[in-house]
């Protein structure tokens, strides 16, 4: 189901669940202005279509003792599809790597990593990441503080775009 096939109620359901994935179906239905049974059907359809990939708690890494957050820019020796896929698979196996994005430009990947301390990250960097097959270079940036953390998409921008297309 492409975004243009979503009606305003589907988009409201997604926006509400993105803001609070723990609300009950009854509360969600009330917020979007429909009764509970069709709301639940719509949510299940959105899940099956892949618009809703899961439900998560937004945990505070620092409160849990993960004091170090680092972005690592990784350059590979080869950008052949098999080599890119192999690196992505390796990233999925590293617990300290929380996000992995392939980029266009000077670097091939950017990784968001968390660690309890600098020593743990340094061990990962020297023994795992820089030692991995096909890795040519790694440049790291230590996060000092977070200025914004807003997961998901800006639904107000989506609604504005949909309004101009109507």
pLDDT, one tens digit per residue, over 84-106 is 999 999 999 999 999 999 999 99
- Pick the closest to residue 134 from 87, 72, 100 (CA basis): 87
How confident is the model over 149-160, as pLDDT tens digits?
A: 888 899 888 888
Task: Decide if 90 is inside a domain.
Answer: yes
Q: Are residues 73 and 108 part of one domain?
A: yes
CA–CA separation, 37 and 26 (whole Å): 9
Name residue 112's beta-bridge partners: 71, 99
In this prediction, residue 1 carries a pLDDT of 46
Summarize pLDDT for 64-77 with one digit per residue, the tens.
999 999 999 999 99
Range of the domain at 74: 68-142
Per-residue b or e along 73-102, where b marks 16 or more CB atoms closer than 10 Å to that residue's CB: bbebeeeeeeebebbeebbeeeebbeebee
The pLDDT confidence band at residue 3, using thresholds 50, 70 and 90, is: low
pTM of the model: 0.86
Query: What is the tally of structural domains in the chain?
Result: 2
Domain check: are 72 and 110 in the same one? yes
């Amino acid at each position: 189901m492409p975004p243009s096939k979503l009606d305003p109620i589907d988009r409201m359901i997604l926006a509400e669940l993105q803001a609070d994935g723990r609300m009950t179906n009854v509360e969600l239905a009330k917020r979007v202005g429909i009764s509970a049974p069709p709301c639940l059907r719509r949510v299940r359809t959105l899940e099956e279509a892949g618009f809703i990939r899961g439900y998560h708690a937004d945990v505070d890494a620092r409160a849990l003792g993960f004091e170090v957050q680092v972005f690592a820019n990784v350059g590979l020796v080869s950008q052949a599809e098999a080599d890119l896929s192999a690196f992505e698979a390796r990233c999925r196996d590293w617990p300290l790597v929380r996000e992995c994005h392939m980029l266009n430009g000077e670097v091939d990947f950017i990784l968001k990593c968390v660690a309890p301390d600098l020593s743990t990250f340094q061990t990962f960097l020297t023994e795992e990441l820089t030692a991995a097959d096909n890795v040519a270079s790694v440049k790291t940036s230590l996060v000092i503080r977070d200025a914004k953390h807003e997961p998901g998409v800006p639904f107000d921008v989506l609604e504005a775009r949909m309004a101009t297309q109507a």
